[in-house]
Amino acid sequence: MKKSLVFHFLLILSVFDAFQDIQAQPLYSYVDPFIGSVGKGHIFIGPSCPYGMVKPGPDNNKASNSGYEPDTTVTIFGFSQTHVSGTGGGPKYGNISIMPFSGDFNQITQTSLRSNEIAETGYYSVLLKKWNIRTEITTSPKVAFYRFKFQQNNKAIKIDLGQFLGEKAILDSREAQQFVGSEIRILTDTEVEGYSRIRGGWNNGMAYTVYFHAVFEKPFQQFASWKGEVIEASQSTQYDSGQKTGALFNFDNLKSDSLKMKIGISFVSTAKAAQNIRAEIPHWNFQQTLAETQMKWEDLLHRIQISNEATKDQKIMFYTALYHTQLMPVDRTGENPLWTSSAPYYDDFYALWDTYRSSHPLITLITPSRQVDIVNSLIDIYKHDGYMPDARSGNYNGRTQGGSNAEVLIADAYAKNLKGIDYGQGLMAMIKDATVPPGGNEEKEGRGGLTDYNSIGYVSDRFVRAGNRTLEYAYNDYCLAQVAKGLNRMGEYHRFMKQSENWKNLWRDVEDNGSRGFIMPRDAAGNWVDSIACDITNGQRNYVRYTPLAQDWPNCVCWWCGFFYEASSWEYSLSVPHDVPALIEKSGGNEAFRKRLDTLFDKGFYNVGNEPSFLTSCLYHWIGRPDLSSSRTRQIIDKNYHAGRGGIPGNDDSGSMSSWLAFHMMGIYPNAGQSFYLITTPYFKETIIHLENGKKFNIIAENLTEKNLYIKSATLNGKPFTQAWIDHEDIVNGGELVFILDAKPSKTWGVEVLPPTIK
């Protein structure tokens, strides 16, 4: 990694030169961390390094996944050091909360309204109105760097280890974070350390511990610490007795109004947290750390350059999308409290169900070495923890929403020829998923309902989420089979290719809104299930008819208990990414399929805000109508995405929605697990991908205007290119893909050579 970083840094510098004319400002300045902070985006707005372990930011809503609440009438109660970005469900993290304040020193709760809020790449700033304290934050990978400016006397800082997100009054509530323990020790008049130990959260994880070591730039004058509700003056240690602890520091001796503070965190120990400070920020130069973090982002953002003619909003949308994609998973190499190994360690896969579709393919394009690390980390988790995660957070596999989609990442890496991965071990991890039932509540890892799937060929209605589990397992099986084939494991290849057709076992010949054939629930004996038990009124259970538009969850059954997870059969029945031709045939042929897609989009059965339909707007490609894929996709983007704070139409899910947008703005979109990208009309006249291998690939859209939105013809490296898809290899070899755009759909381009179906 180091070698490549240096290499790319040099590359940036030269690129800087070359593009100085078309690029007046650094790309990181186009990142607007507020995009997605209003509405459903659930974006984390604080500073973070790429894949950064520490994510310091304001908390003003304990029920918010990012800790953040845009409503400025809601008070901030602290700045905690750990957050996730874009997630839904019960919150996770929000640990090691600090708060500057003035006034009553002997008061644990300290809240303030805010103003003058700024969020930029690597930087956050806010004025705490109650005391006129400006708080600025920047960060290195594992250390948060704070700068406070006080304007009143009684300058004080609180460190609160009992504060965290998603706490509920009822103990052991599902998805709630729950307190386990905390400890604080004041070491000197500038150093404090301790930890907060929490369990639960969205993935119902076992306990994780966030250790911290904090250093003040200048000594405090007095301090107090607390346990439970009791504040004790000058008590330097509050040992862990399963109660909430924290400390208050008074800086009234401070000569200037300014105070800096560094907080190193670690998932291993307090001394490691201190070491992280020494290793990353051994100085007090706030600007230097900020500049380093900006450069880390600049390096990555520069890997994809877009034409300077793009509008400012487009630039903001595009680079913010790249930024969002690279916030998570989190690089915790050297911070694994569970085992040691030579493999990298990543956490906060939250969840692969969301990110496998476009986030990881985008990471693969920008920094394949990073994706290799991530895949190796998944295989290492399998080796030491039993299964690869579908979701993992706080060092704990927890939650599968449908498939065992880590398998898609391995297949994607294999198909794209990423080096440095032990695919033999990867295949073993995949086979474990596919053959060994995970047990317990079957939602922690592996494949729930596997006993059904492996015996009757589908997950029957006796298991929850039977519909999307069956569909996703079929695709996971395809992925497994392809890797097996590559490794010449033909027994597994044949078995799992056959199983990859299992989606057909739930395909029922019913009609709905003019289309025929849907994935529908079936019992273990093979009978179709027509109705489902729903609410109870007057002591009687009501049954509702199950239709392709039915949503049994969350009203009839729990959120996790429906036939499909978070979408209807209208959406999921189009989810066969490995065999779209068979899907088209099942649906009644090209015309019926086109009509079906049109109905989906026109009648609003499509949900822009969730991942199951990520590929759907490109399915027109398989009936030789890439023009319709282009127009549909553009329609979706223009209607739902924008450069404002509410500019992400659903939970960003660790950058999933953002990466979907970024790909489509470039005009390519991956079919994750396979090696090709579908081509649609780009938003930019020119896109340059600076590949990690040193080559570059240009995508040029000639004649692109607001009216010329259809690809009339194309050339690849000067030769005619009539297909509406391109293989990963053709991109990484470098070159130039040129589109000639026109106001009308082409009747020839992308019609003949359809996207490949590799058996």
Q: Which stretch binds its own copies (CB under 8 A): 176-184, 597-605, 652-660, 725-733?
A: 176-184
Prior bond of 554 cis (ω within 30°): yes
- Select the residue interacting with its own copies from 436, 490, 558, 753 (CB under 8 A): 436
- Select the residue interacting with its own copies from 383, 508, 642, 696 (CB under 8 A): 383
Q: Establish if 207 lies at the interface with its own copies (CB under 8 A).
A: yes
Closest by Cα among 662, 679, 689 to 722: 679
Q: Establish if 295 lies at the interface with its own copies (CB under 8 A).
A: no
Q: Establish if 451 lies at the interface with its own copies (CB under 8 A).
A: yes
- CA gap 652, 200 in Å, rounded: 22
Q: Establish if 268 lies at the interface with its own copies (CB under 8 A).
A: yes
Answer whether 469's CB lies under 8 Å from 463's CB. yes
Length in residues, the chain: 759
- Select the residue interacting with its own copies from 51, 146, 179, 226 (CB under 8 A): 179
* CA 253-254-257 angle, 5° bins: 145
What are the tokens at 279? 């290793």
- CA gap 499, 504 in Å, rounded: 10
Contacts of 407 by beta carbon, 8 Å cutoff, 6+ apart: 388, 429, 430, 433, 434, 476, 479, 480
Contacts of 596 by beta carbon, 8 Å cutoff, 6+ apart: 514, 515, 574, 587
Per-residue contact string for residues 135-174; x = within reach of its own copies by CB under 8 A = ------------------------------------xx--
- CA gap 290, 288 in Å, rounded: 5
Q: Establish if 298 lies at the interface with its own copies (CB under 8 A).
A: no
* Residue 13: CB atoms within 10 Å: 10
* CA 344-349-350 angle, 5° bins: 165
Q: Establish if 384 lies at the interface with its own copies (CB under 8 A).
A: yes
- Select the residue interacting with its own copies from 81, 95, 209, 355 (CB under 8 A): 209
Closest CB 211 distance from its own copies, rounded Å: 10
- Select the residue interacting with its own copies from 152, 233, 239, 717 (CB under 8 A): 239
User: Using CA of residue 411, residue 417, residue 419, residue 422, what is the dihedral sign?
Assistant: positive
Residue with tokens 């986030």: 359
Subset of 480-519 contacting its own copies (CB under 8 A): none
Closest CB 178 distance from its own copies, rounded Å: 7
Closest CB 182 distance from its own copies, rounded Å: 9
Q: Establish if 398 lies at the interface with its own copies (CB under 8 A).
A: no
Closest CB 271 distance from its own copies, rounded Å: 4
- Helix residue spans in 624-683 (DSSP H): 626-640, 656-666
What are the tokens at 50? 């790429």
Closest CB 584 distance from its own copies, rounded Å: 37
What are the tokens at 276? 């992280």
- Select the residue interacting with its own copies from 114, 155, 197, 596 (CB under 8 A): 197
Q: Establish if 428 lies at the interface with its own copies (CB under 8 A).
A: no
State the number of binding residues for its own copies (CB under 8 A): 46
Closest CB 240 distance from its own copies, rounded Å: 5
- Select the residue interacting with its own copies from 241, 288, 417, 555 (CB under 8 A): 241
Q: Establish if 190 lies at the interface with its own copies (CB under 8 A).
A: no
Subset of 659-718 contacting its own copies (CB under 8 A): none
- Select the residue interacting with its own copies from 10, 338, 490, 758 (CB under 8 A): 338
What are the tokens at 679? 């081509």
Closest CB 339 distance from its own copies, rounded Å: 6
Answer whether 290's CB lies under 8 Å from 120's CB. no
Contacts of 757 by beta carbon, 8 Å cutoff, 6+ apart: 578, 579, 580, 581
Pick 242 or 720: Cβ nearer its own copies: 242
Judged by DSSP in three states, 703 sits in: coil
Which residues contribute to the site for its own copies (CB under 8 A)? 171-172, 178-181, 183, 185, 195, 197, 199, 206-207, 209, 237-242, 268-269, 271-272, 274-275, 334, 337-341, 383-387, 436-442, 446, 451
